[in-house]
Amino acid sequence: MKKINFQKIAKEVIGLEIKSLSKLKSSINNSFSKAVQTLLNCKNGKVVVSGVGKSGIIGKKISSTLASVGIPSFFVDASSCSHGDLGQISSNDVLILISFSGETSELKNIIQYANRNKKITLIGIMSKKNSVLYRSSNIKLLIPNVTEAGPGNIVPTSSTITQLSIGDALAIATMKYRNFGKHEFKKYHPSGALGAKLKTVEDLMITGNKIPFIKENELMKNALKIMTKKNLGVLIVKNLKGSTVGIISDGDLKRVSEKNENLKNLVAKKIMKQNPVSIEKNMLAVKALSIMNSNKITCLCVHKKINKKKTIGLIHIHNILEANLS
């Protein structure tokens, strides 16, 4: 096997692609702003994306990213559009066509269809100014004519990186304008490792009759029965107004029982720890786990934002571990 410095090749490829992205960054102009506004204004239609070959693969990624951030979008195969699938593209849709040369023959039927329907806005992503796609597009996203990595300047590498980057930029720009954050993203991505990380305390917390509530004047002999029945190792203590005033853990019971033989005859408020740690229901579950670890506790009370003393739920470390968030 002949000696080749593969690490050197990798650095050259990455360096060349970085230069391509730098060119793309410098080329961003008002056309990009118009494209973002067009996507945001697409209320009664969909964003349809198409491309051929490597550009098609990038198009699928762009469409998928847009859909995941709340912009209804799907990818159509350019060849299939010539055999009936043009019917998927309707008035008020935004059409994004991707072709590095701007002359991809398979896109010509889609371009003609879009140009005949004046209610379809065509956004073209291409590198050649005098190409068919450039001339036909309502909004022209001209990417720089970059050098491809590898011998002969023929393998789509730097060009696809720039296409992907402009697509990501469009998606992120719409996110920032709409204040689209983690909680909104979770709606479109509920499963997988990412979906798990975006779970909130409300998704996992114990509610209703499952919460081990006791009154502050409750005798411990009765409270112990509740602790055993609920099987959470804690008791949440409320006053007569229904506000949470304390918490009792099984560890607290052990410490008290070592000092006092009449544990069962004590009332809850004599044993409880006052002002238990409480969090909002919209907090990410991973953040709740961090708070537990910092305070060396195994559960947290959950409250609504408007009333921190009103416990509406309880989240135990086991709830988080079972959800595979740690």
In DSSP terms, which residues pair with 248 in a beta bridge? Answer: 235
Residue 85 lies in a domain: yes
pLDDT at position 309 is 83
Contact 114, 122 (CB under 8 A): yes
278-280 β-sheet, strand order: 278-280, 299-304, 307-316
**For strand 307-316 and strand 299-304, is the pairing parallel, antiparallel, or unpaired?**
antiparallel
Residue type, 293: N
Our separate counts of H helices and E strands in the chain read 14, 12
Same domain, 54 and 155: yes
Please report where in the chains the tokens 């003609």 appear, as a residue: 112
d(CA 229, CA 212): 9
In a domain, 192, yes or no: no
Is 155 part of a structural domain of the chain?
yes
CA–CA gap between residue 250 and residue 257 (Å, rounded) = 10
Query: DSSP of 247-300, one letter per residue?
Result: EEEHHHHHHHHHH-TTGGGSBGGGTPEES--EEETTSBHHHHHHHHHHHT-SEE
Inside any domain, residue 194: no
Q: What pLDDT was estimated at residue 279? A: 93
Looking at the structure, tell me whether residues 265 and 154 fall in a common domain. no
> Which residues are bridge partners to 284 per DSSP?
200
Cα–Cα distances in angstroms (integers) from residue 138 to residues 59, 135, 278, in the given order: 18, 8, 54
- Whether the full predicted model's pTM is greater than 0.75, yes or no, is no
* Positions of the chain with pLDDT under 70: 189-193, 260-261, 325-326
Q: Name the 3-class secondary structure at 5.
A: coil
211 part of a folded domain: yes
Both 60 and 13 in one domain: the answer is: yes
Clarify whether residues 41 and 146 are in a common domain.
Answer: yes
Supply the pLDDT for residue 190: 67
Tally of domains in the chain: 2
Whether 231 is covered by a domain: the verdict is: yes
pLDDT of residue 261: 61
Last residue of a domain, one of 180, 212, 231: 180
Query: What pLDDT, on a 0 to 100 scale, did the predictor assign at position 78?
Result: 86
Which amino acid, one-letter code, is at 192? Answer: G
Secondary structure element (H or E) that encloses residue 61, with its range: helix 54-68
**Please, what sign has the CA dihedral across residues 223, 227, 229, 230?**
positive
Instruction: Compute the radius of gyration of the chain from its Cα atoms.
Output: 30
CATH of the domain at 244: 3.10.580.10
C-alpha 99/C-alpha 249 separation (Å) is: 64
Backbone phi, psi, residue 249, to 5°: -105, 165
pLDDT confidence of residue 99:
96
Please tell me whether residues 86 and 174 are part of one structural domain. yes
Would you say residue 301 lies in a domain? yes
| Residue 237 to residue 235: CA distance in whole angstroms | 6
Task: Please say which residue of 180, 215, 236 terminates a domain.
Answer: 180
Q: 27 with 144: CB under 8 angstroms?
A: yes
| Residue 315: domain span | 201-322
Q: What is the CATH number of the domain that holds 63?
A: 3.40.50.10490
